[in-house]
Structure 1
Amino acid sequence: MYEPGFITIQTLLDKFLPHCLEFGFFLNPNRFREAALLPFTFGHASRPSPAVLSAVYLWGVHLSHSEPLLLEEHSFMTRALQHAATDPIGAHPDAVLHTLQAEVLLAYYLLRVGRFLEAKCHAANAVSLALGAGLHKIRCTNPHVPTAICLSSDIPISLHPPQDDIEEGERINGFWAVLMLHKYITIALEPPMSVCGTLEAPGIQIDTPWPLDIPGYAEGLLHPDVRGNSTVRNFLLNMVDHGHHGHSTTALNVKAAILFHRSAQLAGQWTPNMQTREFHAYTAAFQSINRVIETFRTILPPLSQLDVKHPSTRALLLIHALTDAAVIKLHINFSYADSSSKHHCLTAARNMTLWVAACHVFIDEISRVRSLANAWPPNSEGGEDELMERLRSGMAALSALSDESSLTSMYSGLVDKGLF
């Protein structure tokens, strides 16, 4: 089995680990680095599994901006895909959790480079592993028999009991990392009427408590009395969270992704010719999620108070952007005919600097303004000049955050070519 030399491994870890949380990394970074650099062979039980190491090396190469390394990116990708497919049946003691981590990293990587169908496949693999290993039932208030997962026709594998809070925290955060990936993939790549997925299947109840930020587990914040019960359902019912878990940056990120996904679901279900009963049910669901979004917004740290140098600032910007994107998704179907929904959409889009959904709103509004050329004076608020400036600012921020993202490049190209 191929592995880069020690110096290259150090370089790749240094390129990846400072940004790892942005790509769904849920293992403890300090423990991972220490284990990765141990002087043992590739595949040794004391080191991370080949699947997760290969996925991390791939990301390190991708983020390196080193021409010699980038020339080998395809080879690194091929090896990472091979190990993700074969490692679960190996003898590594953490094969399931490490393969889960590899699948998440590969899904984000493939999404980033525009290989969308493959990204969906690896996201689906991650969901299956997480559910099969029972990660959605960690610390469930209702006793249950741990689920064994069968990764081949006749080899059942189950997780060993966690050795400490850090290891249990990896499993908790691992489940929520998979859920966030699932939300992003379904919103980005599924047709509007199909924005659902495995994690919304009948009979699947998520009881795992909200995640802490990774350092919190080492700090002893995972108290013995922390339990979970209908975690996502209770959140969507606007029930108040208690304790640290529901307010960590990681938990806020998960909640924002859930709200964005739920709003996209509702947007896809809307049709103008609903029967009376369907319309009333839709209206009730619409008002309910709108209340949850507004409640959630009140607990977010204001953007004006963020320290641009703080490590969590990037995540908090994304949380705000997802929340505004949820507002846009929820109200966009009504923004042409209803002044309140139009106000919600434009206000959310003005607040956003990071999310493509906001650019959709500006693009739609610019098109509408152009069709009514005399609607506003050229420099008035809400006029074409102001909207174009906000659109370009949003795309510049998106480009700065993800300069190699296929989706971002597509929208940037349309704006630069004057198509909007």
Structure 2
Amino acid sequence: MTLKVADTTKLGEIIEVVDAVAQMQRQRHERQPDAINYEIVVGYFRRVQRAKEEGKLLVSHTPMIPPEIFYAMDIVPLQLEFAATVAAQIVKGVEDCFSAAAAFGLAPEICSAQRLIAGQAIQGWLPRPDALVWSNQVCDNTAKGSNLLAEVYDCPRFFLDRSYQYSERGVQYFTQQLQELICFLEDLTGRKMDWDRFAEVMERSRRLQELHREIRELRKAVPSPWRNLWFIHMMGTEMYMAGTAEAIAHLEAIRDAARQKVEEGKGYVQEEKFRLLTIFVPPACAWALMGWMQGKHGAVCVAEPYFSYRDGENIDPGKPLESLARKSFYCPICGPMHGPAEEGILRDAVRDAIDYRAEGAVCFASIGCRQTDACIRMLKDSLQEKAGIPTLVLDNDTYDPTYVPEDQLKDKLEEFFELLEERK
């Protein structure tokens, strides 16, 4: 099946709704970081919407493809999982995408992110890209699912291969892979990479990484200066805007807001009742849970070991390709998850529980994610034995709200909060 005509009405709906949210947040002083986040989202999708009429190359790509290369080459990127994430929250008719994916042969046991991405492509919700770039990161669903996208879009495509675990040989190999990607894009655009501009982009990416670490330190404060949704906003900015000035402005706004609370000795909520570790990604179709947890129950998410830059490696703008290759091994998501678990997600979760004085952990167990779900028992045991805290495993589907309704998720969280209260 090949996409004949794209109807980007849904993309227009996303832009309209997010723009309205951004304007609303601008009117609330304490929500300035949120306003910047939504403005970035609007600008991102407007560039996608206008790419063809402005004569720019539009490249669709999967998670963990470094956007820095696209920005350095003045290419408009479209991160497909991010588009699916936003659609799951805003657009009516997402169930039609799941139906289209099922008709195409994707079983319900497959990760709903991949099914929604495929459904969007089949339904023509997004502009047809000039090229498709995907990889084997962060999971095998991504690697396999994009073969379907290549068939639907029938456009030039590039598969970016990376070894699973870190080694110097792996870094060298992936550096060469990134060079081949650049050659592929140079052939498509008819332009050579501007290496000075690439170095500037990588300097901004280095600064973004630095801000992640500054924010991590601020979050150790008691009471917590943190708004639960900021972690999700930061995750998006890192994955689709790394290397841009907008990303830096966003994280600086979050850092400044958190630092002000710390300096004033205040928490983000008036009464902090529970300090939680959150593990893996909350369901995109129910992100309102994060605000509900904090606003109604005083439950603050103090750290996310799945999505954190650790001390150690740093970007060298003078070696942009090698730096990107190394970053792919220690960056959030890939760094903790590519094992061995004892040296990644297990170690990081225990360390965060202790350093951030967590009283409990919430593990978001998405039904279709074999990679994260395989770690859950080990995580529960490690956190109980080494940090002395209980873990709630919250079964969900990241994009399909029919699997577990939001009210059921709230009921399970409230039961967990009662347990934490009894332990005080």
Please say which structure displays the higher CA radius of gyration: 1
Query: Which structure has greater helix proportion?
Result: 1
Superposition TM-score tier, normalisation by shorter sequence: 0.3 to 0.5
Higher relative strand content: 2
| TM-score, normalised relative to structure 1 | 0.33
